[in-house]
């Protein structure tokens, strides 16, 4: 992986991590378009740079992370389902990360759902973090497990999960941001541990590329979060739904025509 390739993939991660369009799916598409081979380091890179993106949440919502112990308990409760399923389904998740047609289908179907979410939950009024009870947090965490299939989008799953519990779009989106912190931190730590267990060591250049990618993802994610909340409050999910449908449909057609994505 070159620095240029790392730069592009990190921008994709920063832009898409908190949007309901699947950062993992888009990074898989990006690596295919750039002709990047799925080496162990590339797999590590696409997961580890999510750490840079989640740091943007800590910076933007710094005061919220010191609000109360109850805040952390809710995050732990919501995180538990993903932790359990992540351990149990680790090998299946790794295999799914190489299934681009699976990503296409998930993008397409998820896009259809996003077209109707605003109408389904238009009467939601729970607009504050205190409205998120422990049972609600657990249910949101269960929705997050759906995102273990690449292309589903962790952000979309958790936001929709929050809205099924009566949360407003803004409240659901912000809790989704907060929940990304323990989830992505754990995913990065696990991937690094797996790397170590397999006896793979990083070269100095790979370490520098990894740090470079995290910095780029952090900066881009800062801008994306600020834009997303304002856009979501004003316009809802429909635009993201149509985007997912178009991208998913194009990928499905290319697959059916046996056209390699690398030549697009």
Q: How many domains does the chain have?
A: 1
- Residue numbers of the domain that contains 132: 3-263
Among residues 49, 73, 65, 7, the alpha carbon closest in space to that of 214 is found at 49
pLDDT one-digit tens code per residue, 70-126: 989 999 999 999 888 877 766 666 565 567 788 888 899 999 999 999 889 888 888
Tally of CB atoms within 10 A around 187: 21
pLDDT less than 50: residues of the chain = 263-264
Burial string for 132-155 (b: 16+ CB within 10 Å, else e) reads: beeebbbbbbbbbbbbbbbbbbbb
Report the predicted TM-score, pTM, of the whole model to 2 decimal places.
0.84
CA distance 41 to 81: 27
């Amino acid at each position: 992986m070159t620095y240029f390739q790392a730069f592009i993939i990190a921008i994709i991660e920063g832009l898409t991590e908190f949007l309901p369009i699947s950062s993992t799916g888009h990074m898989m598409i990006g690596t295919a378009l750039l002709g990047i081979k799925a080496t162990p380091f590339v797999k590590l890179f696409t997961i580890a740079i999510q750490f840079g993106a989640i740091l943007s949440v800590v910076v933007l919502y710094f005061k919220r992370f010191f609000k109360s112990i109850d805040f952390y308990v809710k995050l732990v409760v919501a995180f538990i389902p993903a932790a359990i399923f992540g351990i149990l389904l680790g090998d299946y998740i790794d295999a799914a990360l190489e299934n681009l047609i699976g990503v296409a289908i998930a993008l397409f179907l998820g896009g259809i759902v996003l077209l109707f979410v605003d109408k389904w939950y238009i009467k939601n009024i729970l607009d504050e973090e205190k409205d998120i009870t422990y049972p609600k947090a657990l249910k949101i965490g269960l929705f997050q497990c759906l995102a273990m299939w690449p292309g589903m989008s962790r952000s979309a799953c958790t936001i929709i999960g929050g809205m099924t519990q009566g949360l407003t779009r803004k409240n659901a989106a912000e809790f989704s941001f907060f929940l990304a912190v323990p989830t992505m931190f754990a995913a990065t730590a696990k991937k690094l541990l797996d790397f170590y267990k397999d006896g793979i060591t990083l070269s100095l250049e790979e370490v520098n590329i990894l740090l470079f990618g995290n910095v780029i993802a952090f900066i881009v994610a800062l801008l994306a979060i600020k834009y997303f909340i304002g856009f979501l409050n004003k316009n809802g999910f429909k635009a993201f739904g149509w985007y997912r449908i178009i991208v998913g449909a194009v990928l499905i057609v290319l697959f059916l025509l046996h056209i390699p994505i690398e030549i697009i």
